[in-house]
Every structure is written in structure tokens, then in C-alpha cells.
Structure 1
Amino acid sequence: MSTDGSTSLLPRRLALLAALLLAGCGPQTPVPAPAPLELRGLWVDAFGPGLKTPAEIDTLVGEAKAMNVNVLFAQVGRRGDCYCTLAAMPRTDDPAVPAGFDPLADLITKAHAQGIQVHAWIITTAIWNNVVPPTDPTHAFNAHGPTTTGRANWLMVKNDGTLKAGADWLLDPGHPDAAEYIRNMYVSVAKNYDVDGVQFDRVRYPDFNPVGGPNNWGYNEVALERFRAETGTAGTPLPGDPVWSAWRTQQITNLVRETALAVKAVKPDVSVNAATITYGAGPADEAGFLDSRTAKEVLQDWATWVREGYLDVNVMMNYKREHVADQALWFRQWNAFARQMLTVNPDVAQVSGSAIYLNFQPGSVAQIGATREAGLSGWAGYSYRTPDADVNAGTRTKEQVIPELTAGLSGAGGPFERAARWERPNPDKLRAISGQITVASGPIGGRTVELLNLQGGVLASTTTDGQGRYGFMRFPEGSVQVRAGGVTSPVFTPTSGSVVQAPAVALP
């Protein structure tokens, strides 16, 4: 530095010159604030028009864009088929889909061009509902339906021998081969398409049970044999047997966990989400959730899925009529519970799914407001094909209602007047372990597996599925071990950004 201080004056002179130059440029254009982060979803079902032809998809994407919707939950898996050509399940034989046309691929291209995400919605268990079998011999209904016996039969069975839940034949998630098939459905779509997410639907045991439970389904003979072997019980359990109910609940949780791990192993930034049940009044806390109709009637423990980080987004099917006082209250109770779960695991977004088909348009707008007041991550409407109660009643058409709903949502003063953004999961935040046990004797499923720190403390615990797989998706950093059946693995250090394979554990 010079003794006359000229060097120390240079920064100030440069700053003054920069200020004069900026002043000469006139008023500066303000930088716009970034769009808020809020999921705004629309379910698009395949039970009618919406995503089956190029023209339908053009209309869908244009109308979603006009509404300022940023996520389409598109039903690509209806009943054991796919509205696509590159999946584990066969391409749909829906005659409304032009030959050679891939609806999912077309939707992704067009939606992404408008900044809209596409999440592939697949019905988890339903595989057929027609008296005429599917044309494809490899379809799960043909290969593993009512004409098959023994291990080849994957069908859900009620305690009285009923094989159909309403009009649907379904797969039993307690059958290990059926669970494997379900897992591969989701993985194949995530692997072969640039979807932003995959969504479970009906990832539970069926309805058609007494209000408040118990659930009467799950009596596939292979599933029953597993239950007996893994729990040491004999005979056929009653529907309300607490051990049987807990075992079936765990099969659903195992399926969600293993599918999430497999999807993340293929593409860590694909969102795994579920459309979850909210029957009746909302619980005050997690203890209340375990006693709710959701947990008792359909054996769906989505609170655990959130707590353990198996989901990126929980989309409650919070289907309540705003114009019915009790239901409007229930809608807000479930929102309040979801807000609690967001506090438990802030990395799992909580979205309130509104039944726009049961509501009049002002009621749907009011439920968006109630969702925001609860502090949730976003809102979704079911469904694009039936956008309000009048369309559902058949008194008006979708084409008449959509412009009105769009004006109410994104028009002046509407809740979606300003565009919002939604982002795919950050793969750098992924911390996941996938593992496999082997056994010399005894059942491979139903084994408790613990994740240990180096001091022997239990960080997490889970249960193997029917293939002997297990996994963890929420645990602290550092080196760990896994322990099952008294056998402890070597030490390993999971890294972020991918699904890490745990050392194999061989049980005697």
C-alpha cells in the first residue's frame, strides 16, 4: 500500500463511478418475486375422456395451465393395464386410445412444455372388473386370476369366500408374488418415462366392511400360510383378530416402503406419493389415527409412511362436502392432523385433496382457503372429468363448468390468481438403505430388522416383506449396522443421494 493512501481510495472511487452510471440509466426494472411454492394438483382419471387421445391431452394441458395448476395426477394404471406402452403391465385395450398412441408419453411432453408436472397415478390392487377377460394373455387377471390355483392365484379373498370387492377383482398384498408385481408396476413407469412422480391409489385392503371395522379381506391361501408361519398361529383368524389386523397392515406398509426404495434406486428425484384415506372425522393425534376408520376399516397406516419418510408427498383424499356442516368440520380436522404430521416430518409434503365432484364451486374455493389456513403444502381436486357437483349429478357438462371453475380459481381475486411452482424432490437429500436377509430355515418374511449406531443403539426398526427385503428412509448420518435374528452385519456408511445396499444378513 502506498503511503499517500491512493490505493485505499480506489474502491470508493469505483463505487461512486458505478453509482453515477446506474443513475444515468434511469429507473431500474424491479426484479419480480419468485412464484410461491405450493402444490396445485388435479386428478385426471381414465374412467372417461381426458387423457386418451392427442386432442384430449391438448385440451387438458391448456385448461390446467389456465387454472394455474402445476401438477397433474394422471391415471395411467387403471386395472392391471397401462395407458402407456413401456410398463410391466400390458398396454390398455381401451378402444378410445388410438392404435400405437402412448398417452403417458404425449402427456409428459405437452405438460412439461407448459411447466406442469405429471405424476403417474396407478391403482395398486385392482386388476379387472369385466365379465370378458383381458385380451392380453399376460395380463395379471389371466395369469393369476380366478382360473388359477395354488401359488399362481394372487386374488384377494374375503372371509366369506367372496372374490370381488364391488365390481373389482384385486390382488392380495399379503401374497409375496403379487406384492412383487405391484412394486414392479411403479418401478417400470418411473424407469421408462420422465414422470415427475408416481402415486399409489387404493394402497390398502378393500372396502365393503362394517363402519369402524374390522376389515374382512386378505384371506388368499398363500397369504394365510405366510401369516401362520410368521406369527406361529394356527387356524384361520377372525377379521378382528388384532395380530391378523396388524400383520395385514404391515403388508401394506412393506409394499409402500419397498416400492419407494425401488423407485428411488432408479430415479432419486422422482416423487413417491400416495392418495390416502380420510374416512369420517379427523383424529386429534397419532394415537387417535390408529383408532380411526382409516386404520381400522382398510388397514392403511399412512401416518407411519409419513413418519418414516416412505413418501415425498401425502395427498389426503379429504373428500368432504363443504355445504354439509359435519363434513366441513371433518375436512378441517384432517387438515389439522396433516399439519401435525408435517411437523413430525417436514420433508414429506402434506396436500389436502378436495372432492370437487361433490362440491359446488364456491365450496371448492373455500376448501382451498381452509387448506392454506391449516398451513399445508398444497391442494388437489378430484377430478378433472367431474369438476363440480352439477357435473357429477348430470345436470351440466364439464365443458360448461371448466371455464367457470377456471375463472373462480385463477381469475381476479381467485386463490390461484398468481402462478405457483412445485419442485421434484432434491436427490441430494435422499438417505435410504435397502437390504435383504436370507434364512436357512423358517419364514423369510415378518423378521424384525433393526438399524444400529456404532454404540449398539437402535435408530430404527422395521419388518421384512415376503421376499426378505427391508429398508430405512429416515435416519441420522454416520456409520451403522443392521441386526436381524441375532445376526449383525458389518459396519457400513450410507451416503446421501442414492439408495445404499446394506450388507447381506444370513440367518440360521
Structure 2
Amino acid sequence: APRTDQEGVDPAPFDPLQTLIDKAHASGIQVHAWVIATAIWRGSTPPPQPTHPFNLHGTSATGTANWLTKRSDGLQQVSTDWILDPGHPDAAQWIVDNALSIVRNYNVDGINFDRIRYPDNNLGTNVPSWGYNDTAVARFNAAFGRSGVPANTDAQWTGWRRDQITSIVRKIYVESYAIKPGVRVSADTITYGYGPQHGSGFAGTRTYAEVLQDWDAWMREGILDTNILMNYKRDADANQNLMYREWSDYAKDNQYGRQSVIGTALYLNGIAASVAQARVAVAPSSAGNPGAGWAGYSYRTPDTLTDAGTRSGAASRAELTLGLTQPSSYDSITPAVFADSPPIASLPWKITPTKGHIRATANPGATVSLIDANGQSSRTQIADGTGWFAFVDLEPGNYRVVSGAATLGYATVNAGAVVGLGATPPAPTPSPSPSPSPTAPPNPLPCESSVGPGIPPPAAVPAGIGGFHAAWYGQSGYMTLCPGDAATATVAYYNTGARGWLSGKMGEVAYLGTWNPEPGQDRPSPLGGDGGFGSPNTAWPRYDRIAVQPAPYVGPGQVSWFQFGVKAPQTPGTYRLYLRPLIEGAQWLEDYGVFWLVTVK
């Protein structure tokens, strides 16, 4: 995406996000990239970059090249904003690709989505009036054999539009998991009006019926790790106070094994009111269910005085911090809401996963069904506008995916993995053979580990290529290990680029990362790691980073000898560890298909 033109921000190679990550991680602070999902431009003056998506797919584009949403009365601009239409397959894919590029290229701890919904400024309460991009309407008509322009209250049309948002969330969740399993996917969700308890349940709320954001279903399906409610209400208003408590209770009572965080509007309240709302946020619901925490919006405008311009943000932040962390006149209850420093809520379904996921493609808009090992249809999905679909949080085992009478493929789901479909069914597990009559076992021979001969470097490698580059330059031999034994592996990479590798500097330091096909890009390996995500602790820098350059600087034409530990699993068999060099925070280097073969006796 184009860089900001904001005055005071240095041009490339300065990277604001990478700089933030470096400084935050050095202080033990997590970084979650905040992404405005659907808005791409604001105002009447087009962006200066010719390749900006607004210039390519905005008001000047026609036909399928136009990605902007519009209202049922023809209005295209939402106040000053220009919004992508989630029902246009190319626009939806751009939203997905934009998010995944952050996960793929930056060591973020999470990715957070705002405005992952249809816009406000509708033509009435619970009258969903946006989504009338011509391509989106044509897709809907083709899917249901209809013609013309559907009414904004048409139930079938409303459900279809709501599903487009959910498809985007599902795709980002699964594809980000495949890239970096531990990344937290969160969304800032809508809580307009009274809570679901006040009327006809969640389906009767403005969240579901007007802006078409079905976050309750996202949580139920497991395609959102953390639901951050934008529960923005004035505490002093009795009606809004009730709304706040209803939504807080509902979110805590409907987490479905994921997490809900209650967000409050600091700018709508004084310090004492925000402290009171924070107490409600961190307390269990009326039914006794705890949430995952509190979030205050915003750091820039921490109370009504700052919002009114009568007190600086810094002064109000100091008062808010006092009210939240120490006994003060803002709160008559002790201890303070955050008298201690609780740890960040972990993601057990990602750290120690027990379920896996299937993703594949079919014809766009096709209905696909999941058939379990017992031949039962357990779930159904609609492939998105590109044909992509996924089934999330599946028990390990064998599955078949069908579309109508056609079998699309077979998959074996493993815990913590995203798998595709194969053309042939997995082999059935053989029945155990009858046990022979017991005989005294022979004395076992002692197990001895060994390492095979090393693999020499190539006769010649390129040199002086512009930028960062590397060539494989030999490695130690493959290993035969006894269960539980450890060994050290060595691999050399020649710096064939024109830039040096500088240890300790993000964007210039060289690492080895886990790679495809085993265990997969940025995936944990059973052969080594840091103890995270189920990996054994063999002193790797991280579960998905096998080794870091040992020398402070590796210049062009120099060789770096990377060493790392491996540990044999307890189960005999053949294991592979594929690796690829990278400049952390910048780019992956050349893939030579390097791997280690470890045979466990």
C-alpha cells in the first residue's frame, strides 16, 4: 500500500511500523496492527499516487473495476469517506491481502480490525442501505436466480451481504493462522443501542440487522480470537448505562471459548465515570462469567475535558492512570481496578491447539459440505467470490469435502495445522493383528546416535547482487538419533548481496526461519524451538526462528555459519526440518530447498 504523505514522517527506508515494533518489543509491549478494513480514502481530492486503490478502483472506474460501495439511493460517499464494497470479490480480496501482508512481513503480535462491517448513515434504524455496488448486486442475483435491484430490507439480500463480511473475517483468520499461528486476530465491534437481552436477541440488534456485523457468529465459529466491544456509552445517562451493562454481560456470556474485551469511550466520560465502567468491564457478568479485560478509547482523548479542549491529553492521562491504579477521589472502592499488573490473556487454542482447520477452493459461490469419518455431513459453507472456503476448529481425523454430488477432495486434520484437500482418501487405520504367544524378548542392543557426512558447498556462487541475498554454502550431515537425544546442526550461507547483515538491528539481521513443506512457513517443529507452541526447547531464538547470525556483521562475500540444536522426538520415524534464511523485518532470502533429515530409531 502507498506510504503516508503526512508531514513530518520520514520517507523510506524509514518504516514507522517496524520502528514501533522494535521499541515496543524491547520494552515488553505487544503490538497489534490497527486496520481500517473497508475505508480506503477520505475527502474530495484524490490521493497523489497513481496506483492507489482509490485511483484505480474508485469513482473514476467503471464496471467490475469499480470497488466502491453505494447506498440504495445511489449515494457513494459516507460522510467524507470512500468505502470498499465487501460484496465485490476483488475488493474483499484486497482487504484480505492488505491484512495478510502485515502478518507476513512484520513480527506483529496481533492484527485488529475496525469498521469490518457495512457503513453507518443508513436510511432508517435496522434498514441496511449499503452494499449496492453493481458487481455485488450481480453476484447476488446470479447466486439466487434473481434479477433487478433488491430492496434494502429484502431478507435474502440482507443475509447475503452479512455473509460477505463474515467470509472476509474467516479468510483472514485462517490465512493468518497458516502464516503465523500465534498471531491474535481481533475486531472492534458494534454495540449500538440496547443489548440483545432488551429485544429479540442478537438478531434484533442494530449490530446484526443494520450494519450487518455478525460478531456473535464469528465467536461461535471461532474465526475471531478477541472481540473488543466498542461499548461507547455515557455512564451518567441512565439509558446508556443500561445499554453498557447489557452489552457487557452479553459479550462475557457468549465467548464460545474465545475472548471478549469490553471497550469504553473515555472521551464521552469523566475520569470517575471511566473508572466505574472499567470496574464493570473486568467484573464477571451477572451470570458469573468473566471477560478478558478492558480497553479505553482513546489514549489521545482520555476524558471529556480533553475532548472539550479545556485540559491537555497528558494531564487527563495522568489523572486516568491515577484513578485506575491507585486509591483516589475518582473511586470509592479499594483496591483500585488495576492495583496489580495482570498478565495479557493468552490464547490456549493457539498455544496448545487441540483442533485444526481445512481450507480449499471450489467454484465461486458453490455450496460445500464437510463429511466426517462416519459419513455424516457436519458443516456447510459457501465459497467466497474467489472460490475460497474453510472449515475451522475441527477435531483431528479424516474428512471428505463435497459440493453437490461431486467430491472436491479429502483431508486429514491435525491439531494446530491448516490443511488443504488431496485427491485420494487417506488410508484406513489397519486393524491390530492378533497378539502372538508371549516369548521372552531378546536383550535390546544399546541405542547409539550418529551424524552422517557433511554436504560440501557448491563450486561457485554469485556475488554482489543488489540488496539482500544469500546462497546455501554447505551443511553438516543428516542425523540418526535415539529418542530424546539432542544434537547440533550447522549450515553455512554465503552473503551474495551488496548489503551486509547486521546483528541486533531489525531489517538487517539474518535469521533462519522454519519453511515449507515441513513444518511450514513460521510453523513450530517437533525437532526444535523455544518451548512455545508445543515445540521442544532447544534454545532457538523463537519457535519459528531456528538460528540467528553468530557474527556481529556479515559483509558481502562473507560466510555465516549458523548453528542450532535439534532434539529427537520420542516416537521413532523420519522427520524433516526445512529452513530458509531471512532478513528479519525485511524479506525472505533465496530458497534453496535446504532441510535436515532426522531419523529417530
Range into which the TM-score falls when normalised by the shorter chain? 0.7 to 0.9
**Counterpart contact for 2:410–2:421, Cα < 8 Å:** no
Task: State the partner residue of 1:134.
Answer: 47
Kindly provide the CA deviation profile for residues 178-200 of structure 1, in whole angstroms up to 9, marking residues without a partner as x.
01100001100011111110011
SS at match of 1:237: coil
Pick the aligned partner of 1:422 from 344, 351, 355. Answer: 344
**Counterpart contact for 2:227–2:259, Cα < 8 Å:** yes
Task: State the partner residue of 1:364.
Answer: 274
* Consecutive unaligned residues in structure 1, runs of 5 or more: 1-88, 439-443
Q: Are 2:371 and 1:449 aligned? A: no
- Pairwise CA distance, 1:408: 1.3
Task: Tell me: higher relative CO, structure 1 or 2? Use CA pairs within 8 A at least 6 residues apart.
Answer: 1
- Pairwise CA distance, 1:504: 7.2
**Counterpart contact for 1:309–1:473, Cα < 8 Å:** yes
Separation in structure 2 between the aligned mates of residue 287 and residue 500 of structure 1, nearest angstrom: 39
Q: How does 1:4-403 map to 2 (within 5 A)?
A: 89-100=1-12, 101-284=14-197, 288-342=201-255, 345-346=256-257, 348-373=258-283, 374=285, 375-403=290-318
Kindly provide the CA deviation profile for residues 300-329 of structure 1, in whole angstroms up to 9, marking residues without a partner as x.
111110000000101111111111111111
Amino acid at match of 1:123: I
SS at match of 1:330: helix
* Identical residues among aligned pairs (%): 44
> RMSD value over aligned CA atoms?
1.8
Separation in structure 2 between the aligned mates of residue 108 and residue 286 of structure 1, nearest angstrom: 44
**Counterpart contact for 1:435–1:503, Cα < 8 Å:** no
Q: Are 2:410 and 1:410 aligned? A: no
SS at match of 2:108: coil
Q: How does 1:492-503 map to 2 (within 5 A)?
A: 492-503=411-422
Amino acid at match of 2:324: L
Q: Are 2:362 and 1:437 aligned? A: yes
Pick the aligned partner of 1:468 from 364, 373, 387. Answer: 387
**Counterpart contact for 1:431–1:499, Cα < 8 Å:** yes
SS at match of 1:253: helix
SS at match of 1:493: strand
Separation in structure 2 between the aligned mates of residue 211 and residue 149 of structure 1, nearest angstrom: 29
- Pairwise CA distance, 1:400: 1.6
Amino acid at match of 1:419: S
Which structure is higher in helix share?
A: 1
SS at match of 1:117: coil
Amino acid at match of 1:451: L
TM-score norm. by structure 1 comes to 0.77
Separation in structure 2 between the aligned mates of residue 449 and residue 286 of structure 1, nearest angstrom: 34
Distance 1:285 1:326, change over 3 A: closer
Which structure is higher in strand share?
A: 2
- Pairwise CA distance, 1:286: 11
Separation in structure 1 between the aligned mates of residue 39 and residue 346 of structure 2, nearest angstrom: 28
- Pairwise CA distance, 1:143: 1.0
Distance 1:393 1:486, change over 3 A: farther
SS at match of 1:465: coil
Kindly provide the CA deviation profile for residues 339-389 of structure 1, in whole angstroms up to 9, marking residues without a partner as x.
2212xx11x111111111111111111111111222111110111111111
Once structures 1 and 2 are overlaid, which stretch shifts more, 359-368 or 403-412? 403-412
- Pairwise CA distance, 1:485: 2.2
**Counterpart contact for 2:89–2:386, Cα < 8 Å:** yes
Distance 1:244 1:487, change over 3 A: same
**Counterpart contact for 2:188–2:227, Cα < 8 Å:** yes
Separation in structure 2 between the aligned mates of residue 378 and residue 330 of structure 1, nearest angstrom: 18
Separation in structure 2 between the aligned mates of residue 490 and residue 401 of structure 1, nearest angstrom: 59
Amino acid at match of 2:392: M
**Counterpart contact for 2:325–2:336, Cα < 8 Å:** yes
Distance 1:209 1:424, change over 3 A: same
Separation in structure 2 between the aligned mates of residue 106 and residue 360 of structure 1, nearest angstrom: 33
TM-score norm. by structure 2 comes to 0.66
- Pairwise CA distance, 1:503: 3.8
Distance 1:141 1:263, change over 3 A: same
Distance 1:107 1:472, change over 3 A: same
Kindly provide the CA deviation profile for residues 71-91 of structure 1, in whole angstroms up to 9, marking residues without a partner as x.
xxxxxxxxxxxxxxxxxx221
Rg larger for? 2
SS at match of 2:40: strand
Counting matched residue pairs gives 408
Amino acid at match of 1:409: L
- Pairwise CA distance, 1:464: 1.1
